[in-house]
Structure 1
Amino acid sequence: MSLSSHLEELKKKHASLSAAVEHAQRSPSVSTLEITQLKKQKLRLKEEISRLS
């Protein structure tokens, strides 16, 4: 996998997590812990994207 395709895949995952976080925040049945875990995953992806860019 080339670096550019790897970056694109990370960006897609980041966007997907963004949508999941937004959905979770609007859903009263999702716990704060679950939302926090999603946000941490999203941050790790963002950091990796920045590191590779």
Structure 2
Amino acid sequence: MSVQSHIEALTAKHAALEQDLHHEQRRPAPDDSLVADIKRRKLEIKDEINRITH
């Protein structure tokens, strides 16, 4: 897997997590622990993308 394709895969995962987060937050009673977990995973992916690109 090339670096560029790895970054693209990470970006796609980040976008999917953003969708999950959006859906969870729009529920009448969002699960706070799930929201925190999604945000943590998004941050981990963002950090990995930053490490690769810088």
TM bucket, shorter chain: over 0.9
Distance 1:11 1:31 in 2: 24
**Partner SS, residue 44 of structure 1:** helix
Structure 2 residues not aligned, in runs of 5+ = none
Say whether 1:5 aligns with 2:9: no
Give 4+ residue runs of structure 1 displaced > 4 Å after superposition.
Answer: none
Distance 2:18 2:33 in 1: 16
Q: Which residue of 2 is the match for residue 15 of structure 1?
A: 15
Deviation digits for residues 11-39 of structure 1 (CA, Å, limit 9, x no counterpart): 00000001110110001343100110000
Query: What is the aligned-residue identity percentage?
Result: 40
TM-score of the superposition, structure 2-length normalised?
Answer: 0.91
